[in-house]
């Protein structure tokens, strides 16, 4: 008995010296403990989500297997350790096969300490033993109970998850399947081993938990590595560094904090990019939040939202100086309603909404706004788009150009004002809107009975212009009189 006790103590002390507290926890009241270990995944291991679309995720770590054990008094001479095996992502069938393999290893090494042999098998050989290969398939399809159902296939390693309403039935169906492509060690028709424990809530979504664990483990590995900052050239542990997600370039947090503070104070929230020359990777909001204080982050968050809104053509700002709230504008309308102060306004002239009536903004003002926008720098254009709204600027430019073209190429009907363009033919025009006859030269209304009599009158200016020519000063005076 004393030899067994000594062997047990030596084995437990060895485990405590090899593994960290997070991996190995020794029980206080019994000769036992808990070991957590992640499987060693091959490079480029993937998790595939199968549903409406197939999405692949690269992972380096899967949630650990958990081995809880207690050492009987006659271990290792006679009895095997009493244990349970737990996992978040394996099925009962897979864990039951592992339990049976642990029993086989004990039988092959009875009389010797076995925990190290078990751990080596569970860490290094499980994937081959179960036939697990990349990609690990997660089939996402809700069942009647609202949970996610995942199908077990040990060769293709599809994960299983079952709704609470049919857990026992589905468990039996899955575990009675035989897969000829699986390892010869597995017997999938055997009943589930009572020593297996499912740590996964059958109603929860497994994929986010897999990805969250992988991200946390990657960060843990990163924190322990040493990196050389490309700015100050100091060597720092990963815990004191920032790694840009897209490019994986690493800089120390001290340098990046100062860099972020300067850019945010200057309002350049879109410029929080990797300092590496020609690199365009952008820091995530979470990374910025970790490096700057609350006040500066609030400014960053506000400016980032505003810059995003400024790029949207359907966003304008409330024209009230005391408000200035961003307003979403429906397509093909010039009415904006502020959600904060309930002010209804015209997005073109920024005055109270006037329905179908024309804006009070004059053609000269539109032309000035257009010319100012077209001659402005990129920053100036962004400022004007922010001030007036991108859609308003676009309409102002289009309408101003349209008015200039109409003034140069068209004349208004003297009766209804409709713009008329003359392409060819004589100077007797017919309005396409009100059907009024009028003279193209003087815009005089013509009689419907004899419209050409106007052009045959020798005393009219139009007659002299057509057949004899007139002095330009007289013509200008004529048009001036008509406008008066």
Active site (catalytic) residues: 426
Helices (H) and strands (E) in the chain, counts: 14, 21
Q: Are 281 and 244 in contact (CB under 8 A)?
A: yes
44-80 b/e (C-beta count within 10 Å ≥ 16 → b): ebebbbbeeeeeebebebbbbbbbbbebbeebbeeeb
Q: Which candidate, 446, 306, 317, 466, places its Cα nearest to that of 387?
A: 317
> What is the torsional sign of CA 395, 396, 400, 403?
positive
| CA dist list (Å): 63 to 44, 74, 95 | 17, 33, 14
Which residue shows structure tokens 């979403």? 328
Non-local CB neighbours of 48 within 8 Å, separated by 6+ positions: 54, 55, 56, 57, 135, 136, 137, 138
156-166 b/e (C-beta count within 10 Å ≥ 16 → b): bbbbbbbbeeb
Q: Which candidate, 206, 175, 199, places its Cα nearest to that of 97?
A: 175
Peptide bond into 453 cis (omega under 30): no
Burial degree of 387 (CB within 10 A; 0-12, 13-18, 19+):
middle
Backbone angles phi, psi at 441, to 5 degrees: -80, -45
């Amino acid at each position: 008995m004393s030899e067994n006790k000594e062997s047990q103590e030596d084995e437990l002390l060895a485990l405590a010296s090899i593994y960290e507290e997070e991996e190995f926890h020794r029980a206080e009241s019994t000769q036992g403990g808990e070991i957590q270990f992640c499987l060693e995944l091959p490079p480029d291991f993937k998790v595939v989500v199968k549903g409406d679309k197939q999405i692949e995720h690269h992972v380096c770590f899967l949630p650990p297997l958990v081995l809880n054990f207690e050492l009987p008094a006659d271990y290792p001479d006679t009895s095997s350790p009493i244990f349970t095996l737990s996992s978040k992502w394996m099925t009962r069938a897979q864990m039951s096969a592992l339990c049976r393999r642990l029993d086989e290893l004990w039988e092959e090494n009875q009389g010797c300490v076995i925990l190290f042999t078990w751990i080596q098998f569970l860490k290094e050989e499980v994937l081959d033993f179960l036939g697990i290969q990349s990609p690990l398939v997660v089939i996402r399809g809700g069942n009647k109970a609202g949970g996610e159902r995942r199908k077990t296939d040990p060769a293709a390693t599809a994960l299983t998850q079952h709704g609470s309403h049919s857990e026992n039935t589905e468990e039996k169906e899955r575990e009675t399947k035989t897969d000829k492509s699986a390892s010869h060690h597995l017997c999938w028709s055997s009943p589930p081993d009572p020593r297996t424990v499912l740590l996964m809530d059958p109603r929860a979504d497994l994929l986010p938990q897999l990805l969250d664990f992988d991200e946390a483990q990657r960060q843990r590995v990163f924190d322990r590595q040493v990196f050389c900052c490309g700015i100050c050239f100091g060597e720092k542990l990963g815990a004191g560094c920032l790694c840009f997600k897209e490019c994986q370039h690493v800089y120390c947090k001290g340098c990046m904090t100062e860099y972020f503070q300067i850019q945010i104070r200057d309002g350049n929230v879109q410029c929080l990019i990797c300092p590496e020359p020609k690199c365009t990777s952008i820091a995530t909001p979470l990374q910025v939040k970790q490096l700057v204080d609350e006040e500066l982050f609030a400014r960053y968050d506000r400016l980032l939202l505003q810059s995003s809104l400024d790029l949207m053509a359907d966003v304008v700002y409330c024209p009230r100086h005391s408000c200035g709230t961003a307003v979403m504008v429906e397509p093909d309308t010039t009415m904006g309603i502020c959600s904060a102060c309930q002010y209804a306004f015209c997005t073109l002239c920024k005055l109270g909404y006037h329905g179908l009536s024309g804006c009070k903004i004059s053609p000269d003002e539109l032309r000035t706004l257009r010319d100012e926008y077209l001659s402005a720098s990129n920053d100036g254009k962004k400022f004007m788009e922010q001030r007036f709204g991108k859609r308003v600027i676009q309409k102002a430019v289009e309408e101003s150009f349209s008015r200039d073209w109409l003034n140069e190429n068209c004349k208004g009907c003297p009766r209804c004002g409709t713009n008329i363009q003359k392409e060819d033919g004589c100077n007797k025009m017919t309005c396409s809107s009100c059907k009024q006859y009028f003279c193209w030269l003087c815009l005089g209304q013509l009689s419907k009975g004899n419209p050409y009599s106007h052009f045959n009158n020798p005393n009219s200016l139009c007659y002299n212009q057509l057949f004899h020519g007139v002095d330009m000063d007289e013509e200008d005076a004529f048009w001036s009189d008509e406008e008066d």
